[in-house]
Amino acid sequence: MSTWRRAERTARMGSLKIAILSRSASLYSTDRLKQAAVERGHSVAVVDYLRCYMDITARRPKILFRGEEVRPDAVIPRIGATYTFYGAAVVRQFEMADVFTLNSSDGISRSRDKLRSTQLLSRAGVGLPTTSFAHDSQDIRGILEVVGGPPVVVKLLEGTQGVGVVLAETRKAAESVINAFRQLDANFLVQEFIAEAEGADIRAFVVGDEIVAAMRRQGPPGEFRSNLHRGGRAEAIELTPNQEATALRAARAMGLNVAGVDLIQSSEGPMVLEVNSSPGLEGIEAASSIDVAGAIIDHIEDNLDA
């Protein structure tokens, strides 16, 4: 959006009050969102959602922070995976108070539950690695038959940033990992291993109905996970029409306005690995040189202006 058009719209709308739900104002993504909003003439407060508490009252639900009611025009949730339950409850309370939330509480909850999100993506016809889920370790043989391995990828449902994701290259290794997870009473998925991806994946950053930036991430030698937190490197790319359509369909299936959709390119086309409801901005902005934070604030303005 041009500077002139932005100034014209800001003058028409006036300054918005935006609350960023985040544990810390110093986090890169939180700071960039605040900076982008302030540049557009809006007032911004960073609110620690774990310090929020709720007044669940008929006809006038409230969210309070340090003894004062928080009633912004819009909320940007930056909810950490560890605190999904409480963070989603805070977002839901804002929804009850008719405050615009960038991502809905339902969308956040869906995306954080790896099993539920995989089931929803499957129903929506989104390409996925063949996936199996079971409770009893006695069903290991059946699981491996479903996914066509080994090798297979075993994922903890609660894992993030590549933690709790294991490549089992042999049947014995798969049985060992699965038995270890079951002894810990941990829930996990077993997925087909896409060898042709060669340790690379694609992060598509969705805002509204468009992809504002995309990058290809490559894991270090000997590492099948490509997360930047694990030493991967990233470069900007142009998505193919098929990759773009898959990423947008995945975000819609989760009900998210803003999402980081992780894709892997297989011989059968793009497949979705994960949909992140609080995608980090640092890696994608550095790789693409695109003002992703600004695109997010523009999306909020578009919705409130409408």
- Residues 122-128 have a mean pLDDT of 94
Query: 230 CB contacts (<8 Å, ≥6 apart)?
Result: 161, 162, 219, 220, 223
98 has a pLDDT exceeding 50: yes
Q: How far is 123 from 90, CA to CA, in rounded Å?
A: 29
Return the CATH number of the domain spanning residue range 131-193: 3.30.1490.20
300 has a pLDDT exceeding 70: yes
Domain boundaries 196-277, CATH class:
alpha beta
Architecture in CATH of 3-102:
3-Layer(aba) Sandwich (3.40)
pLDDT exceeding 70 applies to what percent of the chain? 89
Q: What is the pLDDT of residue 263?
A: 94
Burial class from Cβ neighbours inside 10 Å (0-12, 13-18, 19+) for residue 249 reads middle
Tell me the residue type at 222: G
11 has a pLDDT exceeding 90: no
Q: What is the pLDDT of residue 135?
A: 78
67 has a pLDDT exceeding 80: yes
- Residues 224-231 have a mean pLDDT of 57
Burial class from Cβ neighbours inside 10 Å (0-12, 13-18, 19+) for residue 67 reads exposed
10 has a pLDDT exceeding 80: no
119 has a pLDDT exceeding 60: yes
- Residues 170-181 have a mean pLDDT of 86
pLDDT tens, position by position, 232-272? 788 999 999 999 999 999 999 999 999 999 999 998 899 99
Q: How far is 165 from 233, CA to CA, in rounded Å?
A: 19
pLDDT exceeding 90 applies to what percent of the chain? 61
User: Domain residue spans in the chain?
Assistant: 3-102, 131-193, 196-277
195 has a pLDDT exceeding 90: no
Q: What is the pLDDT of residue 105?
A: 97
Ramachandran category for residue 192: left, alpha or beta (phi over 0 → left; psi -120 to 50 → alpha): beta
- Residues 88-100 have a mean pLDDT of 96
Q: How far is 260 from 279, CA to CA, in rounded Å?
A: 5
| Cis check: omega of the bond before 150, within 30 degrees of 0 | yes
Helix (H) or strand (E) holding 88: helix 84-96
Nearest to 63 by CA among 25, 101, 26: 101
